[in-house]
Structure 1
């Protein structure tokens, strides 16, 4: 569907540099994708195997064109346009061209879609893969031809290699088959394809299972706010679904509502439920569920359009203008927000700029906590002028994301050998790490240095420490 794809592409290109900002997850992509293939392979054996295929793709992108923030985000923009086209194709197949076009446009306009269209991570690509796999799933349920199921299995398997939680789409598709009461032959075809997907993901699952604590150990159980958001979106989808199935909607394999609602609810709901025991849930991990909401909204809008044609011409124009004004009033503030630095947790570009303006050659630098070293890893020209007082092995040498640090006693000795130190820390009020290395950083700075300057940037602060009485110097 060309119209949704072009609209999503244009929205993705609009303000894609986010006012020259980049947050720490994107910084991980940037610096990891710039490692050699050997170093990248070594890293994936220790951590982040779940993102390995995406890092390899971005390594190839930067190899062709090292275009900074634009090159970092352009694959996500293209994937979002492809996903919007896929939503349009599904809607057109199940309910007609008007419903498909409107569903694709709704998908591209969703604030969460716009956010991840401009994110240098894998989630937009996963969404595109799951969306087109769902299209092949629809074709397979209609015809039961082997080619559609082969394409379904291959594309969903590829999406799983981009991020393992794409496999949860299988649960949604199984619910759709159950709700539609499809023949056994369709179940057999789907089951064969699903088994192939699961078998193909076994190597990745085996490796990533050993990395799960490092990869997801920072997560907590879903908050009350997360549950309320999920319930609100699910309720909206259920209401749309109810309004559609009460009307003259097809009851066969092509019933749009019974495809869209499980895709919206099942992956996120299952992951949140699992996260009550083992915290794994983050909204972006199941971003592809938004295709379900877009399909339902597109069909509802298509019905409204059909009803509007019964109105007088003047009433049609007034109704269309009112709907357009309401959409702009609701969506424009969100669209502007997701294109600003304030839409992300922090801004490594702002941190690097603050360090560059405040640092003297040879100053010491401390990252508090150590994982905040990510703030400067994408700016080696800035980090190279400083002495990293806690670093034991660099990220590349240690095959890690942020490097390894010295024992607490060695860190204390290095801190005491410096006269001027820049400490890069979380904003005030954030929990403090209890590791011995982090404790000794705080204690030594507090007892032997004083703060001369505090520079606050988005999601971070740069603290300039000197020996007592030396701030003026």
Structure 2
């Protein structure tokens, strides 16, 4: 997060806005009734963002202030991506994923832009994090501990791994094996019973299985650490090929009675799994029955206590409500963010979520969609704003992949290789099930939709980028594990054992540091791209330069026309250089008319206003689909004298035809100009 904050603040003041930022700047500075009236005609999809930016720009209306919320949102998104990596895999995966996200040039591009896309990305990452918690998608066990060979005690501070049977005959079960633990737990359960020699003792009411080295709990030889208690599934990682996840170790609910409701389960999906070791519970002598009068404590029941079903249901309900609220707010910031729900649906499908999870997610998703439907209906009526877009091609889809995973060829190849490693027999299925749908489903759906109605742009899909660093970090972690782990053969007094241990000199901290250095190298390789993002020409146009050029070339009182009216954004963003010019075609300003750029007069009224003017300036959009109507009006009494092509616009000077002549054409100001040029 600190890295993202530094990258976001580096070069934040580019000295200019581009056209979309100028819209934010003017809309957020209007009054709330004016914002409401304007959203009824245009830009409704950004309405919530303008409302959020209204108090920000009211405090200090500057470019840096306008971009600060995007910087903070990018910082939050970076932290959430790192948190997802930690939750779904391990801490070093989260560290690498967060750094990869921050070092991606397109992330810093939108982190330094006064638009809503960085906030949408942060909201989507937050919603994904809430989904993993509400649906229980996080792995239930840490990676296996390979630091200690079998038969030895685990290092201090680490839980003992599940025991492997040593070679040789198993010890004879003691008398405690047939009678179970020494007594009931809390006086509520009868003694355990198990088959002699089975090695597993079940305690009715606890749901826990006691597993000894070679038999029942009582068969532990003196002087050896006791392993009869069933360890909590969160404390003891499974060893590959030996013991499955805790949900598989627990007996079936139909075979073992459920325990007391006030005993907190060790795993959320296995209620009643006792954390305490049954063999250590006080009770009567071996073979004795339950104490007379023993029974359940008063008030004990399935709904009692903080771990009861009712409490868990309430907690799950609040988690799904938070998830639905975040998704709704994110989609209200930009309507295409609702595609996030499709990615989450595929995540649950790949994770084989139980019915209760689908029910909770469906309820939350329905609420979010219901909140967004009115905005989507209003945005559909304003779809003319996207008339400049064209149907996408596969090349455009690949260009988005390059932006998200690159864009330099070396970094792109490295990220795609790591993603491929993560997808080939993934070791952490939960991370893949979350990240892969996030990065694939929304772009594909929007691409298909854009074939019918053009609306495909990578900024609308910035929220899907979080899946790329997560998958790349998972692939890097898998490669690091393959390199760091080597088989070693060691002889012990009990026989020959083979185990995987970390190679000498290679530690977890060293592997994490190597990954950080690799990300730093990728950032250094793409440093010119980051520097270019902080230049004024990194965006589509440079309104500050256009305003300064007009201010140098015009005289106070000269008439100026904007064709189409949206080119008034130059004067709205930087009014000082153009303060002396007369906007001769303006009929009603934007705030009063409920539009972005105001309403113009008709051709006849325009010619009447130009009567007596010796020259006029025309600022026209330099776009293929633009058909300047005002230029056709001017070509009667005026003729085009000079034109200057700048990024996104054409500055044209018209002079009146007649006895007055083209006044001022020989002025020294025009000597730096080129003759009329085609775009």
Contact 2:562 2:618 in 1 (8 A): yes
SS of alignment partner, residue 381 of structure 1: coil
Task: State the number of aligned residues.
Answer: 456
> Does the 8 Å CA contact 2:400/2:458 hold for their aligned counterparts?
no
Pair 273,244 (structure 1): closer, same or farther in 2 beyond 3 Å: same
Could you tell me which residue of structure 1 aligns to residue 564 of structure 2? 369
2:365 equivalent in structure 1? 194
Cα shift at 1:321: 10
2:528 aligned counterpart, secondary structure: helix
Q: How does 1:68-467 map to 2 (within 5 A)?
A: 68-142=62-136, 145-213=316-384, 215-230=385-400, 240-247=418-425, 249-251=427-429, 255-307=430-482, 309=484, 323=518, 326-427=521-622, 430-431=623-624, 433-434=626-627, 438-442=628-632, 444-445=634-635, 448-452=638-642, 454-467=643-656
Per-residue displacement from partner, 1:318-370 (whole Å, max 9, x unpaired)?
97798467414532121111111222110111111111222211111112332
**In 1: Cα distance, 2:343 partner to 2:416 partner:** 15
SS of equivalent residue, structure 2 residue 13: coil
CA contact (8 A) 2:560 2:616 kept: yes
| SS across alignment from 2:452 | coil
Tell whether 2:12 aligns with 1:16: yes
Give distance in 1, aligned partners of 2:591 and 2:520: 52
> Which residue of 34, 42, 51 corresponds with 2:46?
51
- The verdict on how the C-alpha distance between 1:440 and 1:132 changes in structure 2, with shifts beyond 3 A counting, is closer
Q: Using a 3 Å threshold, how does the CA distance of structure 1 residues 325 and 93 change in structure 2: closer, same or farther? A: closer
Unaligned 5+ runs, structure 1: none
* Contact 1:91–1:256, Cα closer than 8 Å, also in 2: yes
TM-score, normalized by length of structure 1? Answer: 0.89
The 1:308–1:333 alpha-carbon spacing in structure 2 relative to 1, beyond 3 Å, is: farther
- Which of the pair is proportionally richer in helix? 1
Structure 1 position 374, deviation (Å)? 1.5
The alpha-carbon distance between structure 1 residues 248 and 387, as it changes in their structure 2 partners (threshold 3 A), is: closer
Give the equivalent residue in structure 1 for 2:666: 472
Give the distance between the partners of 2:517 and 2:359, measured in 1 at CA. 49
Distance 1:325 1:206, change over 3 A: closer
- Counterpart Cα distance in 1 of 2:578 and 2:589: 12
Deviation at 1:113, TM superposition (A): 0.4
Deviations along 1:246-283, one digit per CA (max 9) or x if unpaired, are 356134xxx11111111111111111111111112221
Q: TM-score, normalised by structure 2?
A: 0.63
2:225 match: none
Query: What is the deviation of 1:301?
Result: 2.6
Residue 395 of structure 1 deviates from its aligned partner by 0.8
The alpha-carbon deviation at position 167 of structure 1 amounts to 0.6
- Pick which of 343-352 and 70-79 moved more: 343-352
CA deviation after TM superposition for structure 1 residue 405, in Å: 1.7
How far off its partner does 1:417 sit?
3.9
**Cα 1:34–1:81 shift into 2, 3 Å:** same
